[in-house]
Chains A and B, each alone.
Chain A
C-alpha cells in the first residue's frame, strides 16, 4: 500500500524542503487570525452544522444535527414491550459501560461497602472495548517538581474557554496524582527514568510537562490492568448487553435499566438502587461526515438515555476534531496520529513542501488551519479515494532526536503504518482532522451525580469537566477521577435508598414532548451500533464545502 506515484512526487518535494525547515518555526497566529480561521474553517463554527434542540430541559441549546437527531428520536422501546415485574438482575449498583470509567466505578463500588455480587457491569461490546483503551498520548497529573495542581487548574480552565465547572476541575487536578498512585499499586507500568521519576511530556495547552505515558499504548495498559483486577474480584459482568432505556421508580428516581442482549435480541430488566452511566462519547455519529478516531460503540447512547429521564446536558455544541487523523491509506482513514508526533518535531507541510501553521496551535486552530490548506487554498493532496490531507513530516523526529526515537516512543504508530507499507521514519504521513471527542455531555457534580436522583455519570458521557475544549491527557484522567467517585458515591446512595415501583413513565413523557414540539420522525434512539453495511463502509464524505 506504499504511496502511489503522484503522491511520491509530492513527497520528493517535501524531502527537498526538509533540511531548510529544520529548526524553523512557522509563527503562531495572533488572536485575530485564530478567530478568523476558526470562523471560516472549523467545523464547529460552520453555518448550518447545528440546530437548536426543541425538547426537554436543554430546549434551545445548540448542538450538531447528528446529536439533535438522536435526542429528537423516539425511544427504542415502548413500555408495552417490557414486563417490569420480570426482574432478571437485581443489584445495588448498575454500571453501564466497560471502559476506564465503568471499570473504575465497579471496582470502587465493591470497595465502598457494596457486596461484590450486588454490582453488575453491562457493556454492549467486550469488557474494556472503549475509547479509553485507544488513548495513546498520555494522562495528565501535576506531580512534577515545578508543577502544581493550581497550574493544572489554570490550564484546564483556559483550554476549556472558561466554560468548565470549576468545582469539577478542582477535583480533577487535586486527585490526579492519586490516580497515578492507584494505577501503580494496581500494576500499571508508567514510563519512568532510571531513578524512578516519571517521564513527563508536554501537551497542547499545558504550561508544564505533566503528561504521563505508557509508551504510546497508555490507554491500553491502564485499561487492561483494571480489567484484570475486575476479573480477579469476580464482579458480575454482562458483555454484549446494552442498556436501551433507563427505568425510573414512581418517585422519579432512576432505578435500573432495560437491557438488551445484542446476540439473542432479548430484553432483560435490571433493577438497581443506583445506576452509573459510563457509556463514552459519540464519535461514531460521524458529525458532518467526519471520520473518527473512536471505537465501534461510540454512538452517544448515554446522553440519549439520560435525556429520556430528564437529566440536564451541557456543552454539546462543542465537538473536538483532532487536527491529525490519518488521511491515507484508505484502510486507516480517520485513525489517530497522536499529538505527541508534533510535540516531538513533526511539522505539518502542504503539497509543495511549505510550512503553513505552527505545529502546536490549540487543537481547534490547528485543525481549522489544515482544513483551510486543503479546501481554502487547494494546497492539500487528494487521495485516490477522494480524501484530502496535508503531510505530517514524521522523519524529522528521528533527525531531531536521533535514530531510534520513533521506534522507542511511537511503537504503535510505527507498527500501524508499517502494516500498510509506509515507514514513518523515512516517509511523511498524510493527515486531516478527524472527529475525536465529545467535549460536553450529561451534567454532573463532584459526586458524579446527574440532575436526576439515582443516576450517576462519569467519563466522556459526562460534561462540565472540560468546558468547550478538552486538553490532551485530561480525558484519561477524568475517567479515573470521576469513575472512582461515581462508584463510591453510588454505593453510598444505594445504601440509603429504598426503591419504589418500577416504571417507564418517562418514555411516555418523552413521546409527549416530541409530539408537543411537532417532531415527526421515524428515528429511534439509542442506535447502539453504527451502520456500515454495503456502500456505507466506503470513506465518509466530509460535508464541509
Chain B
C-alpha cells in the first residue's frame, strides 16, 4: 500500500534516525511511504491563532500537494497523508480540521493563494502510529524477528499526539497505542503518570532551566517506575529529553541518564532490519550498552 508521506524539516536534519527507521519499518510491513515531491514547513513555527488566515497557508499548501500527487497519478485515490513528527502531525491535522469546518476561512485562503491550485479538502492527516493500529498489532507482532524480550520501555507521548481533544491519535487520559505497539514488539511496557506531560517545548531555546526541570521530572519518574529506556514520537521531545540530560545531570545530583529513542527505532530493531537502519549511534544518550546487555544488538 502506498501513502503520501510528509517528513517535516527536523526529520531531514537532526532526526534522520527517526525517518530512516520509520521508512524501513513501514516497508517491512508492506507500506510504502512516498515523500511529497514538493513540500514546505508544516507551519508550526507560526502560531495557529484563531483569527489568523496567513498562518494556515503553509499547512494547507502541504495538503494541496497530496491532492497534486493524486492528480498527477503518483497515487490513485489515496488522500491519506502519513506523518511522523508529532508537531507536524498536530499542525497539519488541526489546520485541516479548521478549514474543512470553515468554508469562509477556506475561501479567504484561496483568495490569498490566488493562481495556485485550491485545496479541495480531500486529505486525511494521520500519524504512523494510527496506521499501525489500523493494520492491527497482531500483524506487527507477526513481523517481529528479534523480540525486545526483557526490555522495559516507557512510552512517552508529550502533548501534541494527544491534544487538543478530538485531534489526538488516542484518548488523552489513557492512551495505549504506543503501549500496544511495544507489547507487540515483545517488550515490557512501563506505564508512568508523566507520559503525557509537556517536555518544555520551545522553552528549550531561551529557558533551558524550565526544560531541564521538566525533563528531570519525566525521566526520573520513568526510571522510578522501572523503565530502562524511553520511547517517543517527536523530535522536539526527543531533543528536550535527550540533549537536555546534560543540564539535568548538572542541576540535579543523583540523576542517572536514561536512553531515549524513537518508537520506530525499536520497531526496526525488533524487525531485524539492522543497526544501520536504526541509527542508534545518533541518539544523544547512547542506548547501545543497554541493548547489548539485553543481547538485542
Within the complex, are A and B direct neighbours (CB within 8 Å)?
A: no
List the interface of chain A (C-beta within 8 A of B).
Answer: none
List the interface of chain B (C-beta within 8 A of A).
Answer: none
